[in-house]
Structure 1
Amino acid sequence: MRNVLTGLAAARREGRPYGIASVCSAHPVVLRAALRRAAKSGGPVLIEATCNQVNQFGGYTGMTPADFVAFVEKIASEEGARREQIIFGGDHLGPNPWRKEPAEIALKKAADMVEAYVAAGFGKIHLDASMGCAGEPVALDDHTVATRAAALCAVAERTAAAAGLSAPVYILGTEVPIPGGADHALDVVEPTAPEAARETIAVHRDAFAKAGLADVFARVIAFVVQPGVEFGSDNVIAYDPPRAAALSDLLAEEPGLVFEAHSTDYQTEEALAALVGDGYPILKVGPGLTFAYREALYGLDLVATELVPGYGERSLAKAMEALMLAKPGYWSGYYHGDETDLRVQRHFSYSDRIRYYWTQSEAETAVQRLLTALDGVRIPETVLHQYLPNIVPAEIEAVEDVLVTAVDQVLAVYDSAAAGR
């Protein structure tokens, strides 16, 4: 299934571009929706974990790369998806989780993380050594970034060879927005300048050659650039093809490459299809999926308020508000405004920083209480239409199906846009 990635550049050159959604989430409902869709289609599914989310120390999910693979494989088995359909990707693998430590220490930990990812079976590796460590500039020069990326690549190559695994494919470059979206309102986002992208590619190619990895560079399938898409807390910058045309044209000079687009969440199907056609066929999506999950949960919260005696009024939303106020670390530095603004953002922001709370025990208890309250309850079509108008009653056998369906509706947009022409 990995040839779906290695074939992206050739397909575009030949005038038959296609793309693939990159599901960047560790949420079990999101993963279930993606794997259920893969089981039905029989096609590949690309699932990615980030360096902060999953690493050799557990990350914020508590999972190592091997744990994450096992977690996904278990859900795949339950949904009937075959292991060979799943492409595992590692995102932003580099010193970022340890950037406050000296470079020598942070890069050693980054190397160990890359080793753990590759050994666990991750075959798409995004190497990102762009951030400065303790005592270094926040943003490093291209030469330093590329040299460090090449060193991490050498670790990945040795690990794959020692384990008898297929050699990974690589993503390089890092001109991406703040993970999870910008923390302020946006009017416009400038695409990467073509000359900057050209220089980044050249410097990395040279660094790989100097590290004895010239042949490995042939397995670099994409560079991360900014095509001009982004989302803030309450607005989305839509893809504007003419503004990114010069950047797209650069691919004519690099026939073996495509670009990877981060933060494509909340783009329309038309915009996503245009991204695919213009050379940005790897479409990263994460917060947009958990946003749909939260919308569905809050819709069910209102349904239970209407239909279940004793449930209370919006009990789930109230529980989540109490949890986020008690533990503000995941949102307090990202949302701004007065108390009303902050409350609205905590629950409804496109940045969806509420996603960090769903796996906490208080949230899990509140979600389970909601699902239990609605278990076996007949939801009148009129009530469903009021609070969850995009859910078709005939598709719902159990209340949990509402959540999976809500996420699947977003994935369906990506799959349609990625189908190519």
Structure 2
Amino acid sequence: MLDLVARHKSGQACGIYSVCSAHPLVIEAACVHALRTGVDVLLIEATCNQVNQDGGYTGMTPDGFRDFVHAIARGTGLPVDRVLLGGDHLGPNPWTSLPAEEAMVRAEVLIEQYVAAGFRKIHADCSMSCVDDPTPLPEDVIARRAARLIKVAEATQRRVGGEPCVYVIGTEVPVPGGAAEDLPELEATTPEAAIATLDAHSAVFAEEGLSDAWPRVIAVVVQPGVEFDHHKVIDYDRAKAVRLRSALDDQPHLVFEAHSTDYQTPGALKALVEDHFAILKVGPGVTFALREALWALDAIEREWIGEDQASGFRNTAIERMAAEPRHWARYYQSIGADLRFDLQYSLSDRIRYYWPDPAISAAQDRMFANLADNPPPMALISQYLPAANAALRDAGLPTDPTNLVIAHIGAALEPYRTACAPEPELAHV
């Protein structure tokens, strides 16, 4: 990461994309795509809500997530030393219902476990208010809490060994999980706000004896003016970020990290990297691609083997979401047919929380088995998954259900790879 930032700051329009997902097929697809396209380092990140000492909503602790990712990488043939693990929004966010001190003690445990498990890209995010905090938190309080956590990270790395951590600060993005409905047009972070965040953190690092760590603060999270809600995407408009892009010109070791780049066009992603948003985060965008592929397989299954023999996978997923609304009730306000649409197609992709549901998982297994036992013809596969079908044929791989899903997700990742690769590198892929 330090080398990447140095190359970017020297004038190369290079970057790295970060896959923020815990779904095994998404992780496998990311590994396969990285292997086939020659990506040097695959960055995979977990959020504090997904993975923490209590298990998060995935049920995984940091060392469990590490083992999960590494096992998938090995299974694809991708060496684990080409996988970089990152922690996103690490801080008190899962415990904001508690008093600040209690929440921060738990956040310290969180950071220690992430670093001990081998995560080396750490986004320290203490911007959220706890139950006894004012809203919003003052910049100085945010910076001091972040420094407190980075102290723990530094001490843990010294204890366990391995490469030193690199850090990301700042959080001018919506809370983890996506934006609210009817998102207005966004303004990019002002250069003054970005510099104020840097100055606050730099001063506190110096006070807290973290001067050695400051050169390893590689990025600041800002809002470049990109976001999505349930039904629309706000595309990157580089004219609105023209002042922001120069804010780090005199910062030799810092780039911007852009969250919520899901659904941006290939041209917009390339422009973001050229404008110094050298770290591109993608999460719901790849699980949305997963859902697209699974819905396509459901349609193929029903058309090929008939409704009576089909798994009913799609209906099972929708029924389970309706029966267990806890992951979407705060986000979707629609009713009737509009709600059924949002459950399936919302860009915020709340359906991603439901794939581990036992009934949905069993229906998916049955659908995959049905299609493996009764392979559909190429013409039908091409009708619903044309790009995946073509990619697998070109690679000489069978068009089985798993390969089709992986190829479809890989196609969603390809714009990120090309956006992050300097032009001379693209010529050799």
CA distance in 1, matches of 2:398, 2:175: 36
Which residue matches 2:237? 240
Contact 1:273 1:420 (C-alpha < 8 Å) held by counterparts: no
Paired amino acid for 1:27:
H
Which residue matches 1:305? 302
CA distance in 1, matches of 2:404, 2:118: 32
Superposed CA deviations along residues 142-201 of structure 1, whole A, max 9, x for unmatched, are: 000000000100000000001122210000011112323212123411111111111010
CA distance in 2, matches of 1:13, 1:261: 17
CA distance in 2, matches of 1:122, 1:386: 41
Residue from 382, 389, 403 that aligns with 1:401: 403
Paired amino acid for 1:30:
V
CA distance in 2, matches of 1:313, 1:36: 29
Paired amino acid for 1:230:
E
CA distance in 2, matches of 1:373, 1:246: 55
Q: Taking structure 1 as reference, are residues 311 and 159 closer, same or farther at Cα in structure 2, changes over 3 Å only?
A: farther
Q: How many residues align?
A: 417
Aligned pairs for 1:130-149 within 5 A: 130-149=127-146
Residue from 64, 67, 74 that aligns with 1:67: 64
- Runs of 4 or more, structure 1, over 4 Å off, are 310-314
CA distance in 2, matches of 1:377, 1:18: 45
Which residue matches 1:273? 270
Moved more, 386-395 or 137-146: 386-395
Contact 2:186 2:226 (C-alpha < 8 Å) held by counterparts: yes
CA distance in 1, matches of 2:277, 2:90: 20
Q: Taking structure 1 as reference, are residues 66 and 296 closer, same or farther at Cα in structure 2, changes over 3 Å only?
A: same
Residue from 118, 121, 137 that aligns with 2:118: 121
What is the DSSP-based 3-state SS (H/G/I as helix, E as strand, rest coil) of the residue aligned with 2:35? helix
Aligned pairs for 1:81-100 within 5 A: 81-100=78-97
Contact 2:389 2:399 (C-alpha < 8 Å) held by counterparts: no
Contact 2:202 2:214 (C-alpha < 8 Å) held by counterparts: yes
Aligned pairs for 1:165-204 within 5 A: 165-204=162-201
Which residue matches 1:16? 12
Shift of 1:417: 1.0
Contact 1:238 1:267 (C-alpha < 8 Å) held by counterparts: yes
Which residue matches 2:254? 257
Paired amino acid for 2:48:
C
CA distance in 2, matches of 1:325, 1:355: 14
Unaligned runs of 5+ in 1: none
Shift of 1:404: 0.6
1:36 has 2:40 as partner: no
Residue from 359, 368, 373 that aligns with 2:370: 373
Residue from 355, 360, 365 that aligns with 2:357: 360
CA distance in 2, matches of 1:12, 1:137: 38
Shift of 1:310: 5.1
Shift of 1:83: 1.3
Q: Percent identity?
A: 46
1:214 has 2:211 as partner: yes
Superposed CA deviations along residues 226-283 of structure 1, whole A, max 9, x for unmatched, are: 0000011011010000101111110113222100000000011110010001010110
Contact 2:216 2:253 (C-alpha < 8 Å) held by counterparts: no
Which residue matches 2:413? 411
Paired amino acid for 2:414:
A
What is the DSSP-based 3-state SS (H/G/I as helix, E as strand, rest coil) of the residue aligned with 1:197? helix
Q: TM-score, normalised by structure 1?
A: 0.96
Which residue matches 1:48? 45
Q: Taking structure 1 as reference, are residues 381 and 187 closer, same or farther at Cα in structure 2, changes over 3 Å only?
A: farther
Superposed CA deviations along residues 304-334 of structure 1, whole A, max 9, x for unmatched, are: 1111145457811110111001100111110
Which residue matches 1:340? 337
Which residue matches 2:426? none
CA distance in 1, matches of 2:369, 2:170: 46
CA distance in 2, matches of 1:212, 1:290: 41
Contact 2:8 2:15 (C-alpha < 8 Å) held by counterparts: no
Q: Taking structure 1 as reference, are residues 313 and 369 closer, same or farther at Cα in structure 2, changes over 3 Å only?
A: closer
What is the DSSP-based 3-state SS (H/G/I as helix, E as strand, rest coil) of the residue aligned with 1:180? coil
Shift of 1:37: 2.2
Paired amino acid for 1:19:
G
Contact 2:311 2:366 (C-alpha < 8 Å) held by counterparts: no
CA distance in 1, matches of 2:181, 2:227: 11
What is the DSSP-based 3-state SS (H/G/I as helix, E as strand, rest coil) of the residue aligned with 1:391? helix
Contact 1:51 1:90 (C-alpha < 8 Å) held by counterparts: yes
CA distance in 1, matches of 2:307, 2:286: 31
Moved more, 56-65 or 397-406: 397-406
CA distance in 2, matches of 1:62, 1:101: 21
Q: Taking structure 1 as reference, are residues 249 and 42 closer, same or farther at Cα in structure 2, changes over 3 Å only?
A: closer
Unaligned runs of 5+ in 2: 424-429
CA distance in 2, matches of 1:408, 1:378: 22
Contact 1:275 1:281 (C-alpha < 8 Å) held by counterparts: yes
What is the DSSP-based 3-state SS (H/G/I as helix, E as strand, rest coil) of the residue aligned with 2:367? helix
Which residue matches 2:427? none
Contact 1:10 1:256 (C-alpha < 8 Å) held by counterparts: yes
